[in-house]
Amino acid sequence: MGRVVTLRCHVRGQGLHEITHSVEETLADAIEGMGLREGLCTLYLRHTSASLLIQENADPAVCRDLEAWLGRLVVEDDPLYTHTVEGPDDMPAHIKSALTATSLSIPILGGRLVLGTWQGIYLWEHRRARGEREIAMHVGD
Amino acid sequence: MGRVVTLRCHVRGQGLHEITHSVEETLADAIEGMGLREGLCTLYLRHTSASLLIQENADPAVCRDLEAWLGRLVVEDDPLYTHTVEGPDDMPAHIKSALTATSLSIPILGGRLVLGTWQGIYLWEHRRARGEREIAMHVGD
Amino acid sequence: MGRVVTLRCHVRGQGLHEITHSVEETLADAIEGMGLREGLCTLYLRHTSASLLIQENADPAVCRDLEAWLGRLVVEDDPLYTHTVEGPDDMPAHIKSALTATSLSIPILGGRLVLGTWQGIYLWEHRRARGEREIAMHVGD
With CB atoms and an 8 Å threshold, state whether A116 touches B1: no
Question: Is the predicted pLDDT of residue A40 greater than 80, yes or no?
Answer: yes
Q: What is the pLDDT of residue B123?
A: 98
**Residue A46 · residue C56 · CB < 8 Å:** no
Contact B91 A56 (CB under 8 A): no
Across all residues in chain B, what is the average pLDDT?
Answer: 97
Residues of chain C with C-beta less than 8 angstroms from the C-beta of A83: 59, 61-62, 64-65
Please report the pLDDT score of residue A1 as a whole number.
76
Chain-chain contact of A42 with C100 (C-beta, under 8 angstroms): no
Q: For residue A11, what is the domain's CATH number?
A: 2.60.120.460
Give the chain C residue whose CA is nearest to the CA of B67.
C95
pLDDT interval class at A128 (50, 70, 90): very high
- Alpha helical stretches, state H, chain C: 20-31, 60-73, 90-99
pLDDT at C130 (0 to 100): 87
The beta-carbon neighbor of A103 closest among C39, C104, C140 is C104
Q: Half-sphere exposure (CA, 13 Å, Cβ side) for B61?
A: 11
**First vs last Cα of chain C: how many Å apart?**
7
Provide CB contacts within 8 A for C79, sequence distance 6+.
none
What is the mean pLDDT of the segment spanning A40-56? 98
pLDDT band at B94 (very low <50, low <70, confident <90, very high): very high
ipTM: 0.97
Q: Is the pLDDT of residue B1 over 90?
A: no
CB spacing of C55 vs A97 below 8 angstroms: yes
- Kindly report the pTM of this predicted structure: 0.98
More confident residue, A33 or C118: C118
Residues 6+ apart with CB under 8 A from B35: none
**Contact residues on chain A for B47, CB-CB shorter than 8 A:** 116, 118-119
CA-to-CA distance for A83 and A80, rounded, in angstroms?
A: 9
- From chain B, pick out residues whose CB is under 8 angstroms from the CB of C95: 65-66, 69-70
Compute the nearest-CA separation of A39 from chain C (Å).
12
Q: Which residue type does C42 have?
A: T
pLDDT, tens digit (0-9, with 9 covering 90-100), for B32-50: 988 899 999 999 999 999 9
Contact B119, C45 (CB under 8 A): no
Average pLDDT over residues C28-56: 96
B chain contacts of residue A39, beta-carbon cutoff 8 Å: 2, 4, 138, 140
CB atoms within 10 A of CB C34: 15
Question: Do the Cβ atoms of B42 and A104 come within 8 Å?
Answer: no
Domain count, chain A: 1
Would you put residue B113 in left (φ > 0), alpha (ψ -120 to 50) or beta? Answer: beta
Q: Are B136 and A114 in contact (CB < 8 Å)?
A: yes
Could you tell me the pLDDT band of residue A123, with boundaries at 50, 70 and 90?
A: very high
Q: What is the 3-state secondary structure (H, E, C) of B10-57?
A: EEECCEEEECHHHHHHHHHHHHCCCCCCCEEEEEEECCCCEEEEEEEC
Confidence check: pLDDT of C3 > 90 = yes
Residue C1: band (very low, low, confident or very high) from pLDDT cuts 50, 70, 90: confident
Chain C adjacent subunits, 3+ CB pairs under 8 A: A, B
**What pLDDT, on a 0 to 100 scale, did the predictor assign at position B57?**
94
C98: confidence class by pLDDT, cuts 50, 70, 90: very high
CB contacts of A99 in chain C (<8 Å) are 99-100
**Smallest CA–CA separation between C13 and chain B, in Å?**
20
The amino acid that residue C16 corresponds to is L
> For testing the chain B interface, which of A43, A44, A55 should be mutated: the one with the most B CBs within 10 Å?
A55
Q: Are B14 and A75 in contact (CB under 8 A)?
A: no
Q: Are C105 and C40 in contact (CB under 8 A)?
A: yes
Residues of C in contact with A138 (CB under 8 A): 39-40, 105, 107
Distance from CA of C43 to the nearest CA of B (A): 8
Nearest CA to C130 out of C6, C2, C15, C7 is that of C15
**Chain C residues contacting A via beta carbons under 8 Å:** 38-40, 53-56, 59, 61-62, 64-66, 68-70, 72-73, 99-101, 104-109, 114-119, 140-141
Residues of B near A (Cβ–Cβ under 8 Å) read 1-4, 42, 44-48, 73-74, 78, 80-83, 85, 91, 94-95, 97-99, 101-103, 105, 134, 136-138, 140
Task: Give mean pLDDT, residues C99-105.
Answer: 98
Q: If DSSP codes are grouped into helix, strand and coil, which group holds residue A14?
A: coil
Contacts of A4 in chain C (CB under 8 A): 38-39, 107-109, 114
Residue C68: name the closest of A79, A126, B71 by CA. A79
In percent, the amount of chain B with pLDDT more than 70 equals 100
Helix (H, G, I), strand (E, B) or coil at A81: coil
Q: How much is the pLDDT for B71? A: 98
Domain encompassing residue C123:
3-140
Query: Could you give the residue ranges of the DSSP H alpha helices within chain A?
Result: 20-31, 60-73, 90-99
